[in-house]
Amino acid sequence: MNHLTPDQLATYRRDGFVLIPGVFSHAECDSFVQHMMDLHAGREKIAGFEPRDPNNWGRTFNQHLYDPLAMNLLIDPRLRGYLEDACGGAVDAVQTMYFWVGSQQGRHQDQYYLPDCFSAWIAMTEVGPENGTIYVQPGSNRGRLLTMEDFRKPNGELSPMFGDHYNGAVDKLYVTNGAPEVPVIASKGDFVLFDGKLIHRGGTILKPGSFRHVMANHYIPHASTKWQYQEWPRIAFDGSRRVANHVPAVTT
């Protein structure tokens, strides 16, 4: 099994992210990108994905639940040891998002949406500022986490999960933290292991029209009891599934 070196683990804990080079081959990445372009254009069809308008490059969400190739990437055995080292135990895979192009998403912390999560952000092409990489604030993983509770209204209701109220609050936290953000520069086949508390955003696409193929996989510790999405499966690296916090695993 692959493992983080002591230096990689120390970097991950200090900065909240670490780049692991060359885990996937160029041929594997090219083949996955082709698959995604073919799905997008309707040359390849799978139940669960509708071919898109040529201008619609919005991310996929939970593609692993309908696409076996995305599932393979989510629980690829080469990722397992790195993820287990990062969280100190067994891991459940919970979410995938595929980006054909940079998301240009506002600042956020993934654990706001998926408590206890951390991620493997896999570069399927060369990724940098030109094609809209992500910008991260090193060390923000050791600072405050904004949660849904921070946005509870005076009448007790929770605010909507998404919106400017949230991204604006993370912008303020970013300023309070006081450290500069840095762009993530990755080569085809690298992946970035990052902490779900790390403040990050999708950068402006400096070369409009450029592609930036990335699969973002999200995980939570197997031992986490914070998973509140009742019908959304937690998937172990052997492919077994369970829902919510029920133990033992239910295989489907």
Ligand X SMILES: O=C(O)CCC(=O)C(=O)O
Residue appearing with tokens 């990335």: 214
- 215 touches ligand X (CB under 6 A): no
Rounded to a whole number of angstroms, the minimum distance from the CB of residue 154 to ligand X is 30
| Dist. CA 136–CA 5, nearest whole Å | 22
Binds ligand X by CB under 6 A, chosen from 15, 76, 110, 116: 110
Q: Which is nearer to ligand X, 17 or 237 (CB)?
A: 17
Structure tokens at 158: 């929770």
- 192 touches ligand X (CB under 6 A): no
Q: How many residues bind ligand X (CB under 6 A)?
A: 13
Which residue type, as a one-letter code, is found at position 28?
A: E
Structure tokens at 29: 């990445």
Structure tokens at 250: 């239910």
| Binding piece for ligand X, criterion CB under 6 A, among 18-26, 96-104, 141-149, 220-228 | 96-104
Rounded to a whole number of angstroms, the minimum distance from the CB of residue 134 to ligand X is 5
Site string for ligand X, 43-82 (x = CB under 6 A): ----------------------------------------
**For the chain, what's the residue count?**
252
Rounded to a whole number of angstroms, the minimum distance from the CB of residue 225 to ligand X is 22
Contacts of 218 (CB under 8 A, 6+ apart): 93, 94, 95, 96, 97, 110, 114, 117, 118, 119, 196
Inter-residue contact 94 to 227 (CB < 8 Å)? yes
Q: How many CA atoms lie within 13 A of 247 on its CB side?
A: 8
Site string for ligand X, 193-212 (x = CB under 6 A): -------x-x----------
- 138 touches ligand X (CB under 6 A): no
Binds ligand X by CB under 6 A, chosen from 102, 138, 143, 233: 102
| Three-state DSSP class for residue 95 | strand
The site for ligand X (CB under 6 A) is made up of 97, 99, 102-103, 105, 110, 119, 121, 134, 200, 202, 214, 216
